[in-house]
Amino acid sequence: MNNEPYADVRDMYLAHSMFRREIGLAPDLVRGVASGDAERARIVADHLDLVDTVLRHHHHGEDLHLWPRLLTRGGPDAAAVVRVMEDQHEAIERANGEVRDRSATWRVTVDPEDGAALTDALRRLLDLLVEHLAVEEDQALPLIEKHITAAEWGQMVAEGGADLAPEHMALIFGMMAYEGDPETVRDIVAGMPPEIRPVIADLAAQAFARHAVRVYGTPAPPRTGARR
């Protein structure tokens, strides 16, 4: 492994910005749905389901591919960080489970009390997630750059998207690239299969713009992904 290149973790920052933005904006989305407006509630709930799916795949990939390797290779410092990461993932999944349950209820009832309960659950999830992403960026990513190879990182990324709906792939990349560093986005595209490289950036941007119009009423929702 000594001669292998190590992981380029820049794409992780794109994912983190997406989660900060989409979950940060979610409470206002729910609050903005009028009582009984089932069509609008469905649009918002579908959006929450998509973000939930991406977040669960993201954390599952880390749990499967990163933390066991850091435990083996990184020594006591890495072990301490991994324990924090795993504990935070468990807390986030519990909060995310509450969001899923309350979103499913609200989708059906479109009742203001159910919407308020969902909004509260989203705020709790956001608080946990913001803390977790900051710790991961400060403590885990530097260890990953030292102990996880580029091939192992690539395997995690590939498997993470393997069972996502194909029609969502361009949208998800567009969600990630929306606030992404342009150089990082270009480098990610350069590593994609050659048949999609010339078109994926435009397709992703268009897919996110269409989605954002449905969800936010604008192709350019607030850019809130910067670390708080």
64-111 pLDDT tens trace: 999 999 999 999 999 999 999 999 999 999 999 999 999 999 999 999
Spatial CB neighbours of 72, under 8 Å, sequence gap ≥ 6: none
Q: SS3 of 31, please?
A: helix
Q: Per-residue pLDDT for 228 more than 50? A: no
Indicate the residue type of 149.
Answer: T
Spatial CB neighbours of 31, under 8 Å, sequence gap ≥ 6: 115, 119
Q: Per-residue pLDDT for 1 more than 80? A: no
pLDDT in tens, 108-161: 999 999 999 999 999 999 999 999 999 999 999 999 999 999 999 999 988 877
pLDDT in tens, 23-70: 999 999 999 999 999 999 999 999 999 999 999 999 999 999 999 999
Tell me the pTM: 0.94
Spatial CB neighbours of 9, under 8 Å, sequence gap ≥ 6: 141, 144, 145, 153
- What pLDDT is recorded for position 225? 63
On whether the CB atoms of residues 9 and 184 are closer than 8 A, the answer is no
User: Between residues 211 and 227, which one has the greater pLDDT?
Assistant: 211
- What pLDDT is recorded for position 147? 96
Task: Spell out a b/e string for 205-223, using b for 16 or more CB atoms within 10 Å of the CB, else e.
Answer: bebbbebbeebbeeeebee
Burial of 56 (0-12, 13-18, 19+ CB in 10 A): middle
